[in-house]
Amino acid sequence: MSVFTPAEVVEETGFSIDTLRYYEKIGLLERVGRNSAGQRRFSQEDVGWLGMVRCLRDTGMPIATMLRFAELVRAGDHTIPDRIRLLEEHDRQVQAQIDNLAERQRYINNKISYYRSVL
Amino acid sequence: MSVFTPAEVVEETGFSIDTLRYYEKIGLLERVGRNSAGQRRFSQEDVGWLGMVRCLRDTGMPIATMLRFAELVRAGDHTIPDRIRLLEEHDRQVQAQIDNLAERQRYINNKISYYRSVL
DNA sequence: GGTTGACCTGGAGTGGACTCCAGGTGCGAT
DNA sequence: ATCGCACCTGGAGTCCACTCCAGGTCAACC
Confidence of residue A1 (pLDDT cuts 50, 70, 90): low
User: How much is the average pLDDT of A70-80?
Assistant: 98
| DSSP state for residue B34 in the 8-state scheme | B
Q: Are B41 and B35 in contact (CB under 8 A)?
A: yes
User: How much is the average pLDDT of A78-83?
Assistant: 98
Name residues 71-100 of chain A within 8 A of B (Cβ): 77, 80-81, 83-84, 87-88, 90-91, 94-95, 97-98, 100
Interior/surface letters A25-48, b for 16+ CB within 10 angstroms, e for the rest: eeebbeebeeeeeeebbbeeebbe
User: How much is the average pLDDT of B10-15?
Assistant: 97
Q: Which one of A56, A104, A116 has the shortest CB-CB distance to B94?
A: A104
Mean of the per-residue pLDDT values of chain A: 97
